[in-house]
Amino acid sequence: MTRYEYAKDMYAKIGIDTEAAIEKLSALPISMHCWQGDDVVGFDSKEALSGGIQTTGNYPGKATTPAELMADIDKACSLIPGKKKLNLHACYAIFENGEFADRDAIEPKHFAKWVEYAKERGMGIDFNPTFFSHPMVKDNLTLSSPDEETRTFWVNHGKACLKIAEYFANETGVPCVMNIWIPDGYKDIPADRFSPRARFKKSLDEILEVPYDKTKVYITLESKVFGIGLESYTVGSAEFSLSYVNYKGITPLMDNGHYHPTEVVSDKISSLLLFNKKIALHVTRGVRWDSDHVVIFDDETKEIAKEIVANDALDRVFIATDYFDASINRVAAWVIGLRNVQKAMLNALLTPHAEFTALQDSANTTKLLALQEEMKTYPFADVWNEYCERCGVPVGENWFEEIEKYEAEVLSKR
């Protein structure tokens, strides 16, 4: 008997079909953020990263060209099991032959290379307008700016991106999630909290005037509580964002780094599932603040996965990663984080949710706690290893040798 067969039997005894779990996980797309590969720099400007987000560290070998970034994504994907979708930011536009278009004027053709890349790999593409790291961010404001020229520039950026999102969906045949996040806010106590939010609302309304096919493009709105240098007030707060989503029938996006430190996104998922057809997540790891550390296989990541699986919402939740660590090998950072998201999902798929719910409903919370804890020492790793093997990616820590090789042969020569 192999270790997997033994594990399969053990799970079967508690009513869990490991084969069904593996099958479900294989079909679940995880949207892989391209920006881990180059510290959220992109290709369209030499501006420093702004918007109250920060990468720290200067590990050698970061991608500085589209070819390098694509090669790094390929390397990472070869070590990550499961289905991947590519998550691009507008600042990753690829300009050729000396041409250039500013953010308010980008067109689908500036992403043709990415489409070609994704098609060759059978991947869908998600998209994000880039409302930061640009000279038109005035006084830390974009869509909420009181300066009409600034606000209009960014509205035009949003409109341009919506067309590109639809182009991605049409080209790849996979719906595109277009996520709007603006950094706008104030470092210190604002005199007027209302007007910036009113202008943000107006700007979003204007962007959404662009006709688009709602079966092909899902527009999500990501909220945030604060940013670095924007500590006192964030225009796109949770209340603003949820209310706006509700008012326009778009999709909410929760980033688990974007709440007060004792709040957890795992507890918010059920509420949003009740009132939205679809929801979207940015899976990250905040250490004391929205630090965007690499996702690990920790309790909250597992709990987020549990909420998706236990609520039968695998087809209602758009799962994307969003973190950026410049202090370690960036390809490894992708692999660690994405493998951990996959692990958390598998762990949730190997949990007897219906039985646990019955215990809750019959108020047998003693047994519930006992069994929840016993599940933690079930032979999860044997199913995980089997899954990796079937996906054709290295089992266990064996993937790290590939990273060492890639670092020696490719990254260190950049």
- Please give the positions annotated as active site: 181, 222, 224, 255, 258, 282, 290, 292, 322
Distance in angstroms (rounded) separating the CA atoms of residues 132 and 141: 9
Is the Cβ of residue 81 or residue 227 nearer to ligand RNT in the bound state? 227
Task: Count helices and strands (H / E) in the chain.
Answer: 14, 10
DSSP secondary structure of 67-109: HHHHHHHHHHHTTS-SEEEEEEEGGG----TT----GGG--GG
Tokens representing 401 are 């040798």
Is the Cβ of residue 168 or residue 384 nearer to ligand RNT in the bound state? 168
As measured in angstroms, the least distance from the Cβ of 297 to ligand RNT is 21
As measured in angstroms, the least distance from the Cβ of 50 to ligand RNT is 11
- List residues binding Zn ion (CB under 5 A): 255, 282, 322
Is the Cβ of residue 166 or residue 222 nearer to ligand RNT in the bound state? 222
Q: Which does 383 bind (CB under 5 to 8 A by kind): ligand RNT, Zn ion, none?
A: none
Tokens representing 320 are 């994307």
Distance in angstroms (rounded) separating the CA atoms of residues 187 and 403: 40
Q: Which does 40 bind (CB under 5 to 8 A by kind): Zn ion, ligand RNT, none?
A: ligand RNT
Count CB-CB contacts under 10 A for residue 81.
26
Count CB-CB contacts under 10 A for residue 363.
8
Q: Which residue has the tokens 């958390």?
A: 344
Q: Which does 35 bind (CB under 5 to 8 A by kind): ligand RNT, Zn ion, none?
A: ligand RNT
**Strand positions, DSSP E, 136-183:** 176-180
As measured in angstroms, the least distance from the Cβ of 392 to ligand RNT is 30
Is the Cβ of residue 184 or residue 382 nearer to ligand RNT in the bound state? 184
Could you give the 3-state DSSP secondary structure of residue 283?
strand
- List residues binding ligand RNT (CB under 6 A): 35, 40, 53, 128, 181, 222, 224, 255, 282, 290, 322
Q: Which does 294 bind (CB under 5 to 8 A by kind): Zn ion, ligand RNT, none?
A: none
Is the Cβ of residue 290 or residue 402 nearer to ligand RNT in the bound state? 290
As measured in angstroms, the least distance from the Cβ of 142 to ligand RNT is 13
Residues sharing a CB contact under 8 Å with residue 233, sequence separation 6 or more, in sequence order = 185, 186, 189, 190, 193, 196
As measured in angstroms, the least distance from the Cβ of 35 to ligand RNT is 5
Q: Which does 230 bind (CB under 5 to 8 A by kind): ligand RNT, Zn ion, none?
A: none
Q: Which residue has the tokens 């996980």?
A: 25
